[in-house]
Amino acid sequence: MNTLLIHNDNLPQEVMDIFGDKKLKFDIQSSHVIEQDFTFDKYASAELGNVLKGQKFDAIYVVINLNKNDYLEFTGLSIANHIRLSHEWNHSHTPIVILSPYSIENVSRIANNYEVLYTPGIFFESEFTTETIEKIYEFIKGHFQVSNFNLLTEDDYQKYLKEVRIDPPGHYDGQHSIENELTLYHWSKSIGINNIEIENEIGPSLYFKFINQTNPVKTFSTQSDDKRSREQSFIQNLDNSVHDNKTEKGRILLIDDQWQRGWEIFYRKFPISIELEFEKIPIIKGDSYKKIQNLTEEKIKSFKPHVILLDLRLIDTDFNVGVQIQNVAGFKLLKYIHLHFPAIQIIITTASTKASTYAATMNYAFSYVQKTISIEAEKIFNKLKDDIETGVLLSSSLNDYFIQVKKIENNISSFQKETIAQIKHNLSISSELLLRAGKTNKTIFRSYSYLQLFHVLENFVNDPSVYKIENQSYFVINKNFKYLTVSGVKREQEEIGNSDIQYKRAVKPEKKKTGSKRGIDENFNLKNNYHTLNDKIIEILLFRHGMNDVNEKKWRNKKWYELNKLRNDFAHGKLANDIDLDSIQAIIEMIEYLTNENELTSEDLTEYDLSEKSYEDKLTALKKKFK
């Protein structure tokens, strides 16, 4: 008989003898099959490889129990799967006979990996006699084309792959989740990197072999035309400031406890169309969250990354069973970076498949890339590539915006508590909307973000240290100066179409209302007693900042009049396109200017306001005017 017997000296001697020297003994003592460190798989692969490679057996007989200390293991079934899944041994299509004293029904009920018993080319025999062994061999020879090396047809083999179930072994060796390792191996191989370390470590595992058969590695091809055109349109949608930054290299920071394992090499070699600089946080086993946060903060300050690739599980306790996402180091770090460095676009890279993890992280992250081999690598790569490139562009374009936000938050510290809270709240909404515009590529969010900044202006003018309304009198405040800019008196005679109060204003509008200077407007039209934000801002610019004309200052080459008109046009549906990033940048810079104490004038402008002046005051003012 040209057959191999796999045993542990646990068959009647006469049965053993008919196999001659074509026998392989598995002397298994401990319960390594059910361990998760692949000890058994490594041992089995080495032994089987030695015996099967270069041979051409017609059939392989395997005793179902090879571990004499654990009869629940059914090691023979694992051996059968190893043979089926290891093409390099040239016996993946060879008929296998399982020798078992138990009925197939009982084995099916007890064994975890019983499915192999019901696949083509597997025979199950309970009689341990030479006659039976020989009879089965004759049957196999008669029914399979022994002359042909591939004894099972390809259809049969596909049926086997469909029927059999090989579960992942969970987390082996602590942090190295098998899914993570497999993904790293597959992804690396897809772009031409052979991760020998992983291959040696998990290569002999049944799960690895199974995945390689059911989900073979495909080489990553370049992106589709459709994808390329989408990227082009995204770039065109961004404003000039982005184009200015196009020559800058994208800076990517990797935060992954498995960086040494191959993720760093993978990301460094990951094909991308923009030039990248790449750094990592050198996390080592046993690091605390605090240490990682400190390292991250230092690195962000020195390296100034545009995009951070962040794994969620970074420290030992993240791997505890039942750990809540809020307590996972990567999640805490995500919130920390988002809060302190909002311009950085964070891409979550994780093996987690939990919807709750996705939902929780996407409140703060730019994107979420799942480390998995269950989705075609090419699809994920295209997304990752797109996310990195978009993230870099977005980050470099938003950086100036967030610098202004930080400055404003510092500027407003002397405002009353309520104002501070409102401004911060509206700034954060505006920021989120802006980030969302980048994430979703929906420009409407940019317009919403712009509108939100006008709420910030409303909050600002409502602070009593900036503007005050007392009865029918409106005051601009500049530290110790309180300028009466609008005052109302009861009309002596009622006029049709006008309110019963006649207003006077210390601002003279220019024709076409596109500019304003200090002066007296004796018949100021304050519609329905409502003093608009635009009017208050004009008074603030003239009296708090001492401008002679509100048009003398521009932000990003845009006057206040234009910025306000843009807001009104959008609000009234008159705009054909959404508001561009440059206008958002202009308005945020203007808010920074308005809230900045250093920009306030120290000049006394009382002479220009509407307050009652003494004779001396009037004389001084006249002298000054004609000087």
Partner 1 sequence: MQKIVLIENRKDRLGRLLEVHSSSRDLKNKLFNFKNLDIVDRENEFNSDDWDDYFKKFDQEDLIEFLEYDILLIHKSKISLEGHKNLDQFCRNNCKSIVYFSGGLTGITFINDGYPCLSMNSSIFYSFRLINFLEGNSKNPSNIMEIAYGKKWQLSNLLKLKYLIHQLIFSSELNIELETEIEDLIPIIEDSLRVQIPVDFETENDRNKLMIFLDELIRQKMIST
Contact residues: partner 1, CB under 8 A: 10-15, 29-31, 35-37, 65, 68-72, 101-103, 106, 109-110, 126-129, 170-175, 316-317, 319-321
Q: Closest separation between CB of residue 248 and partner 1, Å?
A: 41
Instruction: Identify residue 249 by its one-letter amino acid code.
Output: K
Smaller CB distance to partner 1: residue 122 or 133?
133
**168 backbone dihedrals φ, ψ, rounded to 5°:** -65, 145
**164 backbone dihedrals φ, ψ, rounded to 5°:** -80, 150
Smaller CB distance to partner 1: residue 201 or 578?
201
Q: Closest separation between CB of residue 171 and partner 1, Å?
A: 5
Q: Closest separation between CB of residue 316 and partner 1, Å?
A: 5
Q: Are 262 and 285 in contact (CB under 8 A)?
A: no
Q: Closest separation between CB of residue 365 and partner 1, Å?
A: 25
Q: Are 81 and 87 in contact (CB under 8 A)?
A: no
Distance from chain centroid for Cα 334: 9
Smaller CB distance to partner 1: residue 292 or 380?
292
Smaller CB distance to partner 1: residue 133 or 476?
133
Strand, coil or helix: what is 67? strand
Q: Which long-range contacts (CB under 8 A, 24 or more apart) does 558-567 make?
A: 558/583, 558/586, 559/514, 559/515, 560/590, 561/513, 561/514, 561/515, 563/587, 563/590, 564/533, 564/534, 564/537, 566/450, 567/450, 567/451, 567/454
| Look-up of token digits 């490594």 | 42
Q: Closest separation between CB of residue 111 and partner 1, Å?
A: 10
Q: Closest separation between CB of residue 136 and partner 1, Å?
A: 15
Give the C-alpha separation, 184 to 195, whole Å. Answer: 8
Q: Are 140 and 58 in contact (CB under 8 A)?
A: yes
Q: Are 409 and 591 in contact (CB under 8 A)?
A: no
Smaller CB distance to partner 1: residue 55 or 324?
324
Separation in Å, CA 469 to CA 283, 337, 382, 416: 57, 41, 57, 16
Give the C-alpha separation, 511 to 581, whole Å. Answer: 30
| Other C-beta atoms lying within 10 Å of the C-beta of residue 186 | 21
**In angstroms, how far apart are the furthest CA atoms of the chain?**
132
Smaller CB distance to partner 1: residue 99 or 542?
99
Separation in Å, CA 406 to CA 403, 421, 447, 530, 595: 5, 14, 21, 32, 12
Give the C-alpha separation, 622 to 241, whole Å. Answer: 48
Smaller CB distance to partner 1: residue 103 or 224?
103
Q: Closest separation between CB of residue 379 and partner 1, Å?
A: 31
Smaller CB distance to partner 1: residue 14 or 552?
14
Q: Closest separation between CB of residue 349 and partner 1, Å?
A: 20
Smaller CB distance to partner 1: residue 205 or 595?
205
Smaller CB distance to partner 1: residue 36 or 215?
36
Give the C-alpha separation, 250 to 268, whole Å. Answer: 12
Q: Closest separation between CB of residue 214 and partner 1, Å?
A: 24
Q: Closest separation between CB of residue 101 and partner 1, Å?
A: 3
